[in-house]
Amino acid sequence: LPAGGVSLRLCSTRVTLEGINKPVIDRIIRVDHAGEYGANRIYAGQMAVLGRSSVGPIIQQMWNQEKDHLKKFNELMVAYRVRPTVLLPFWNVAGFVLGAGSALLGKKGAMACTVAIEESISDHYNSQIRALVEEDPEKYKELLQIIKQFRDDEREHHDIGLEHDAEATPAYSVLKTAIQLGCKAAIFLSERI
């Protein structure tokens, strides 16, 4: 079990789809899958550049958690019969380029990227948690538990980035703002197409 205790076992394909708000669940699972896919590609890009550096093991540890997140959303897509975003090929390339590009700025640049992305994603997860609680917290109990755990993991990655001098990156606020604007656009598009 991961640190938070959420089981990452194979989700039952017998999820009862009766009574759920299918459009809302489709959007949540589609965009979260896309986000975790993109995060995996970002960490792959960072590891390609910094994997043998002193920060390599830290990046690898965060990447391993993202791999678990993606695996779980792959399972949820099957269980809830949700199609992936058609933008996955684009996120494949864009994520890797963002990860490698930020890592080319050095350890601090990679950590600045991590802080920007993980802050955006944890805020996004919080919005989803609020929406599901407003819908029906009992009906969406399993999904809420998963999203809360993953939000906490993303928050931990954010804090790791800060602990490793993300804010000391030249033009940190400009870089962070640019990455977060891209993240918001990716969320908007991935929810819809």
How is residue 80 written in tokens?
């809830």
CA count, 13 A, side-chain hemisphere, 37: 23
| Contact between 183 and 98 (Cβ < 8 Å) | no
pLDDT value for 15:
59
22-191 domain in CATH 1.20.1260? yes
Give the single-character DSSP code of 40: H
3-state DSSP assignment of residue 177: helix
Q: Which residues, in sequence order, are CB contacts of 122 under 8 Å at separation 6+?
A: 151, 154, 155, 158
pLDDT value for 8:
41
pLDDT value for 19:
84
Mean pLDDT, 10 residues at a time, over the chain (193 residues)?
A: 45 65 95 98 98 98 98 97 97 98 98 98 97 94 97 98 97 97 96 92
pLDDT value for 188:
96
Q: Which one-letter amino acid corresponds to residue 26?
A: D
3-state DSSP assignment of residue 144: helix
Predicted TM-score (pTM) of this structure: 0.90
pLDDT value for 9:
45
| Contact between 88 and 34 (Cβ < 8 Å) | yes
